[in-house]
Structure 1
Amino acid sequence: MHEKEIEEKIQKLPEDLRREVLDYVDFLLSKYRGKENLRGKFRFDWEGGLSEIREEFTSGELQHKALEWR
């Protein structure tokens, strides 16, 4: 796709900035891989996170509070 253009621009950079480009590419690859693994799957690791305030608020009250905070 744009490989040639990317390569030409990277060649114009000093060595230290080329290392930054590589680090950023690694970051993007790891970020993409992470999202790819979660695609189509629901995670409920947050479940029970508000259990300590269960007696203080109803779910409706929490929804209203969340809208106020936005």
Structure 2
Amino acid sequence: MYEEEIELKIRELPENLRREVLDYIEFLIKKYRIREDKSKKFRFDWEGGLAEMRDKFTSVELQHKALEWR
């Protein structure tokens, strides 16, 4: 769709600016690839973090404590 228009615009640029455009394109690809990767993965590194509190509090009380600790 936009490929031809982009190519025409890039051809009009001097060589040093073409390199800048290429750098920017690479930056955008990395930026959005990282966002997609992070949004797809849900981490469970917190799991079991309050296990030692299990005997002292109910799950609801632990939720309230967690909110306080944040």
Q: Deviations over 1:19-50 (max 9, x none)?
A: 000000000000011001011434589xxxxx
TM-score, with normalisation over the residues of structure 2? Answer: 0.57
Q: Which runs of 5+ in 1 are unaligned?
A: 46-58, 63-70
TM-score, with normalisation over the residues of structure 1? Answer: 0.57
Structure with a larger share of its residues in helix: 2
Moved over 4 A (4+): 42-45
- The residue number in structure 2 matching 1:38 is 38
Q: Within 2, Cα distance between the matches of 1:7 and 1:42?
A: 38
Q: Within 2, Cα distance between the matches of 1:43 and 1:14?
A: 46
Q: Which runs of 5+ in 2 are unaligned?
A: 46-67
Counting aligned pairs with the same residue, the percent is: 62
